[in-house]
Amino acid sequence: MKFLRPLLIVTLAALVAPAGMAQTNPSPDGEARVIVRFKPQAESVRAKAMALQATRAEAQDIAQTRATALGLRTGQALAAGLSLDERTHVVTARGLNGEQLAKRLAADPEVEFVAVDGRRKALLLPNDPLFGGATVNPQTTNPDGSAARVIDQWYLKAPGSATNPAVVSSVNAPAAWDVTTGSAGTVVAVIDTGVRRDHPDLAGRFVGGYDFIGYNAPGSAIAAAIANRPAGADLTQALDYGDWVSQADVDSGALGSGCTSADVANSSWHGTRVSGLIAAASNNGLGMAGVGWGLKLLPIRVLGKCGGYDSDIIAAMKWAVGVALPGVPANTNKAKVLNLSLGGSGSCASTDPTGSLYRQAIGQVNAAGATVVVAAGNSEGLAVGLPGNCPGVVAVTALRHVGTKVGFASLGPEVTVAAPGGNCVNTGIGQPCLYPMVSTTNSGTTTPVAADNAYTGSNGSVGTSFSAPIVSGIVGLMASVRPTLTPNEATQLLKLTARAFPTAGGTAGIAQCVAPKSTVQDECYCTTSTCGAGMVDAAAAVSAAQALNGAMVTVTQSPASGLTAGQTLTLTAAASGLVSGRSVGSTAWTIIDNGGGIVSAFVSGAASSTATIVPTAAGTFTVRADVTDNVGLVYSQTATVSVAAAPVAQPTPSGGGGGGAASALWLAGLLLAALALRRSARRG
C-alpha cells in the first residue's frame, strides 16, 4: 500500500503572449521567470560593473540596464529581479513560458547560460489519515490490546532503552549532551518557511534572519502572493505568516501554475517545526528539547504559499555564510550549518544550468567552512531530489523506530546517513501515530496564533524534512567542540561513527532496499548503497569531532603574493596535530571555484602534497586540499588565490633608418640639444 505521493518540483511555465506574437503554451501565470548568467567579458558587464556591496537601488538599476539591452537584442521586453552575484540575475518576461524564454535568451552571444527559475517545496507529508489527524484523540491501547506508549521524543534517546526496547534508530543525544549541549557561537541556518519567533520554547534561539521571498522582484504579483507578507513587514525577522493554500487560490491562478489542487492545505509552520528539532530550549520547564539547545538559529525565509524559487534558495545559501549579494544587507551572523528541508526533482549535473547554480552555491558555502544538510526527499523510495543529489551536501533519509527505511523516504547512493523520520505504518486507519517527530509548531490553521506554545503530538510531523534537522543539530554539536570543523570532516565523521543498519525487526515480509527505479519502494531494510553509511549516532560523532581538536591542514602558496596571469603557482598541503597513531595517507586537490574560467586543471600534483596550477587571466579562484589519514578520515583546507593581470610588455624602440613616432621623438630631442648648445655658446 502506498502511504504518500512523490513530492515533485513544479516549474513556472506557459504564459500569455504579447500583441503581435503567436501564443504558445499560454498560462494563467502571465510571467516567465529565468536566471541569466552573463559572460565575464560581455559588453553589458564591462560597461558598468556591479559591486557586491551595491545598494538595492544600484543593483536593481544595473541589472535592469543589462536586461533591457538583452531584451532589445532578443526582441523580448525583460524585467530584472534578484542578483545572485555580479553577473547573474533573475529575469522575467510575459507572453511565453520559462523554457521558451530560456531558449531565446541562451542564444544571445553575451549570455553564458540560462536556467528556468523553478520552484522547490517543503518536504512535508500530506495530511493522510494513515499518519493521524488533528481530530483523532490519543489512543489508550494499541491495536493489539497492549498498553499504548506515551508520545515523547523517542528519536533523541539511547537506542534500545529500557522504556523503548524496540527503538533502535534513536540518535543517543543524552550521551552527546554529556560533552556539549551546543555553543552559542555556533549558528545553524534554517532555510525554510520562516519562523514563529514568539513560540515560548524558541525564545532566545534566533540571531538575525532575512526574508528573500519576492525580494528585488518589482511588479511580480505571483512573488507577492507566494510571500503572503503584510505591507511594510520587517524582512530581517524572517517571520512565517502562514503558507496555507485554498482551492480558491489555485483556481484564481494567483500563485502561478506551480500551484495545484494537490497543494491545498492548512499552514504547515514548517520552519518552526524544523527549528524546534534543532535547537528548542531545554531545562526551561517547557515542552521539548532540541538536539543542541545551546546552538543559535539563523532563520531565512525562502518558502511561502506553494513553495519558493530556486533563485531565492540559492541566494539564501550564499547569504547564510556571509557571501555578499548585490542589493542585500550583509549577514553578520554567519552560519556553520545550513539546514534545507526542501527540494524537488531535478539534476545537479554540472551541465544542467540549475544544477550548475546549486553546485556553485554549495561550493561557496563549503569554502566558507559551512556544512549543508539536505533532506533526501519524500518520493516513496524513488531517487534523491535536487538539491539533495548535489555533491558537497549531507543528504539524509528517514528511518522508522526499528531502523528500517520509512515508506515515504527517498533513497540512493547520494544519501550520506539516515536518521529518525517518524512513522505511523504500525497503526490502522484513524489511529494516531505512535512514533511522530515531536516539535514546536503553531495551532493556527491559516494565520498564526500569537505566542502559541503548541507542539506536534500523536498527529505530529514525519518526513525526511525532520530527519535532516536532527543531523543539522548533531553537526552543530560537533562544530561546538571543534570550531574549525570542515564540511568534509563533518561528512566523514558522520559516516565513520554511524551504527550499522538492522537486518531484522521490521514489518513481516519486507525486502532489502534496492537502487531507486521508476517504481516505489516502501519500508525496506537499508543498505550502505541506498540509505547512506548507517544510522547517525550523536554521541559517537561528537566524541570523534572532539578528538580531532588540534588537527589541521595548512596550505602554503609560492609565490605567496603577487601572482600574475600566466605564472605558475605552487601549492603545498601539510597536516599537523593528527590523533595519536594516525598519519597522512594521501592528498588530493580540487578546484572548487574556477574564477569564471581563469583556471581549468592542475598542471601537476593533483594527487600529491604539492600541486601546480597556471591561471590564464586576472581574478580569484579557490582550491581545496583534502588530506586523508591512514584510517580514512579526511581533513580539508581551502585556499583562495588572487591573480593580477599579466604585465604589458613595453615596445622596444626600433634602430636604424625608417620614420615613425620613435624616430620623430629622437630628432626632436636632437634639435633641442643642438639649440641648447648654440645658446650656451652665444652666452660664452
Q: Which of 551, 549, 414 shows the shortest CA–CA distance to 491?
A: 414
628 Cβ neighbours under 8 A, 6+ residues apart: 584, 585, 586, 587, 588, 634, 635
22 Cβ neighbours under 8 A, 6+ residues apart: none
346 Cβ neighbours under 8 A, 6+ residues apart: 9, 118, 352, 354, 355, 385, 386
> Of residues 183, 257, 268, 465, which has the active-site annotation?
465
122 Cβ neighbours under 8 A, 6+ residues apart: 192, 193, 243, 268, 270, 303, 307, 341, 342, 465
> Of residues 270, 345, 458, 467, which has the active-site annotation?
270
Spatial separation of the C-alpha atoms in residues 306 and 265, rounded to whole Å? 10
Residue written as grid cell 591542514 = 553
Ranges of beta strands (E only) in 273-388 are 296-301, 308-309, 337-340, 342-343, 371-375
- Told to judge if 356 belongs to the known catalytic residues of this protein, a careful annotator would answer no
C-alpha cell belonging to residue 473: 543539530
- Told to judge if 401 belongs to the known catalytic residues of this protein, a careful annotator would answer no
Using the CB atoms, write b or e for 8-17: b if 16+ within 10 Å: bbbbbbbbbe
- 371-375 and 393-399 beta bridge pairing: parallel
Spatial separation of the C-alpha atoms in residues 252 and 243, rounded to whole Å? 16
Spatial separation of the C-alpha atoms in residues 502 and 401, rounded to whole Å? 11
DSSP 129-143: GGG--TTPPPPSB-T
Three-state DSSP class for residue 513? coil
Number of C-beta neighbours around residue 258 at 10 A: 22
Contact criterion met (CB below 8 Å) for 201 and 288? yes
Q: Which residues pair with 455 in a beta bridge?
A: 440
Side chain identity at residue 605, one-letter code: G
CA dist 185 → 255, 274, 329, 476 (Å): 39, 20, 21, 10
Phi and psi for 354 in degrees, rounded to 5? -65, -45
Q: What share of the chain is helix, strand, coil (3-state, %, to 5)?
A: 25, 20, 55
| HSE-CB for 156 with a 13 A CA cutoff | 27
> Of residues 192, 201, 211, 263, which has the active-site annotation?
192
- Told to judge if 465 belongs to the known catalytic residues of this protein, a careful annotator would answer yes
Spatial separation of the C-alpha atoms in residues 596 and 598, rounded to whole Å? 6
- Active-site residue numbers? 192, 270, 465
